[in-house]
Chains A and B, each alone.
Chain A
């Protein structure tokens, strides 16, 4: 199968407008004859479900949480970008496009990224109309702040809870459509497979997480908005329930998985304290607007700090290395996430890390408190400071925060074309669960932007084109594919429930996480990746022999849920390693030690790797097949990324 991205021809700025005009429309009277399945209720899923219902389609919305409002988008802290140029500081659609392409290290599609920048301005308007309480200036106008990877203030925010407020906006739009009867909501329901008929997606198989009932649901199209797969690393900033199962099962039914090796490591997380830890907590990137990152200049001072012989405040100014400001004078502490993360790791690797483990650097607000006063700092970042205090028992107003990079976001995901369609007709992927828009690295405040862009402003147009093509004939729920897929799911779950070994699923997950972090984390080598691949294969074999599960299917069974998700993470982990091994270059969040500049920055190989790697599943225990979508750059010149 050829990979046609369906990027419209013509000038960059006109592609989306022209495309919208060329897309087929569904007559309003016919819209009610179509059923659309939307899986996931985060920013992408909730906004899509609400918008499609507003248009008149019958929407079935699914989430594994007890309420759509608990989707993990809720946890995003910092903000959402939009090229409004309200600040008059030189922002424009083109600049947002350019920053995003550059930030992604030239591994994203120009067409998609431009569209994202273009609709970003509508997103803010839409959210404000819904009553999202963004931060305001005294004159009543919207306030903005700046984020990593950009030199303008284009980030809209709602204290440190932007994700929660945006999601509540989408949730309320969804609630309105539930009230109107246009959305049927299925909570505590997990998608476990996709039903394919004649090559088209026509439904899903789900497990009711209360009764265990395995059910089938039909629709003219299936839209996945199920988030990212960062939990493959066990420890990440993701919610515990975030998983790849829906996307992975779709992959095993034919949807290509693109760029799985692109993982974003976020530089400002609270460091690990021990093996009991179940997740890592992110501190918003916005903290780097005012906080200064530093490590001690010498190993000796670091050693004293680790042993608590001295405190951070006792380290004199000339004994501190503000390494981001020193190395990147123009962007300073606001360099993009991959750059900040690698530099923190470098400090720890050189023995200059702080905290008991040595795996941390300081994020210091002393200067900001002196400059603005503690009250102003509290008004800007108070809830983040409180959160830090709860977790660490250290007061960040009195001593610098300890931060270290952690897995945060996955840029890879299901391959989609410009219409957000996977290579399986009728199967769409939106938000973090698709691969598009961010390239090899994601800039801050752009995940929320992409989720809402896909859900509010892209899919309502592009889905109609497909639906108009297939026509409103009802989906045949009696087609044998429904029962067959359902039986496959039942058999798979029974296989899991029969595991009566001696090692818990959580132990397997933790072990997978260690392998992934060590060999497919912040830095990768061919040697390490080869080793990891063998280790994951062995882990998989062991899982299916020695894992232990308790309980039955027909009841609430968190162990069964977790087991299915971990089994999928193990398989995906192997593909991530395969992809990382294939990509013999460094770019963005994928850093191959073999490929770096003299200054230690990621060194791309545009001649050989300016492509999207889309992987095709060919059967259990078979090597996946690589398909390449060449990336074409007509508007930006590929240059070595520099934030100096």
Chain B
């Protein structure tokens, strides 16, 4: 579900700066960083996984270490309403052709907004501890909540 080659790279920034021992005379004038390698004319029409990001693009940087709790996605409950995709402040919801596919855990900071805005019953996104596995989380998924009697 997560295998979209969207993972962050560990050696970001190393290529353009020329490795560890670059001197002051080799840095780019004016702190200007390129976002993509090569021509980027039609980049907007390409999907993220098809783009040639430069080592300086924020896309290749991981912020996963910020997270304490992670959202887990249950595809069986999801109605593909795209609410979470709209609300995610870090564009970490992976959606292709209006179909929810999962979460980009390299860029998700665990804020829980997606869970808050999920309208299904039970919610198709729930927060679990960072350490818990996918199967473990899905096994603990709650049942549909009945409406309270009036």
**Chains A and B form a bound pair:** no
Give B contacts to A, CB under 8 Å. none
Give A contacts to B, CB under 8 Å. none
